[in-house]
Amino acid sequence: MVCVFNNRELTEVTWEQRESEGEPRFAASQELPDFPFAGYAELLGLGGIRVEDPELLGDAWEQAFAADRPVVIEVLTDPEIPLLPPFPAGREKAESMRKGLAAEDDGGRASELLDTYLSQEEPAGG
């Protein structure tokens, strides 16, 4: 079995730009065409399962283990989820990421997710 996490973007590069340079996402160099990994697996005679709802991931694995052939599980993921290193280093990188996100026209959702991540990592009171 192969599991492909498909976020349709070069997310690691996007967040690295925000983290290292405080630069906004440059969509022209980051967005990837939506390639149907599961569908392509089926064209090759393999099993292919596309998961768009995280609640269905367990079922997808059960189907894959029960299959009579190799299976590609394609999991659609959200490129807006921040890629921060573990704390305390993550705290230091977050401010640079905020700067990059503030320069983006559509960085609001990613900023909210970053704040949520930070609130979960920070100890109570600070």
Number of domains the chain is built from: 1
Residue 67's φ and ψ, nearest 5 degrees, are -70, 155
- Is the pLDDT at 64 greater than 80? The verdict is yes
CA–CA separation, 10 and 61 (whole Å)? 25
pTM over 0.85: no
Q: And the tokens for 12?
A: 């690691």
Helix (H, G, I), strand (E, B) or coil at 114: helix
| Placement of tokens 């990613």 in the chain | 110
CATH code for the domain in which residue 23 is found: 3.40.50.970
Residue 99 inside a domain? The answer is yes
CA–CA separation, 102 and 37 (whole Å)? 33
pLDDT in tens, 94-116: 888 888 888 888 878 888 888 88
Q: And the tokens for 110?
A: 């990613």
